[in-house]
Amino acid sequence: MLGHPFVYNYIRPRVVGGIDMSPVYERLGVDAGSTVVDIGCGTGDALNYLRVFGRYVGFDVGAIAIRHARERHGSRVDVRFEHKRLDPDDVARLAPTHVVMAGLLHHLSDHDALALLRMLRASPRLRRVVTQDIVFIPGERLNNVLAVLDRGRFCRGREEYERLVTRSDLALVESAIVPSSPKGRRVKYLVMTLEPRGT
């Protein structure tokens, strides 16, 4: 039920006190020449925030979410949605410059998350990856209860997410705890900005 587009887009924001994804997309830093890959794109909410880009491709394993995304945005020539998991052939074919993973890492085991981060580094044009996930925070009881109730089975503490990055081929540029919205303090997310090492 939590994966249904209506629940995800309308009920979930009410429960957590509003959801503003601006902190994620501001950090992504796309421009008119960017090829954006959105892993776990859901219903295509990224396109509510991304104003300028060259090409956008969203990937998701949820058939209902992808159908809804195509209904909302499928008429755009610079936008495509694929109902599948991202694989190395996709990275080679698309050569993304920017990758967003909003609400994805807490659905992946350490092994799968590391494999994905390392796969992204294979893009010769990669400039930046931004992640956003639920996070366990000491002393934040309501936040932590809602994190336990989330569909994702791999919610972590901030340091655990950061350790994942240090084991990958990407460098952690920034790690920030942000509220779900300027007025909504019930839930907080961890937003990480990653870049290829040595850039």
pLDDT tens track, the chain, 199 positions:
444 455 455 445 455 555 688 999 999 999 999 999 999 999 999 999 999 999 999 999 999 999 999 999 989 999 999 999 999 999 999 999 999 999 999 999 999 999 999 999 999 999 999 999 999 999 999 889 888 888 889 999 999 999 999 999 899 999 999 998 877 667 899 999 999 997 5
Contact status, residue 147 vs residue 155, Cβ threshold 8 Å: yes
Q: Cite the DSSP H helix spans in the chain.
A: 5-6, 12-16, 22-28, 63-73, 88-94, 110-120, 141-149, 158-166
Task: Report the top-level CATH class of 28-196.
Answer: alpha beta
Q: Where are the domains of the chain?
A: 28-196
Residue 171 is predicted with a pLDDT of 97
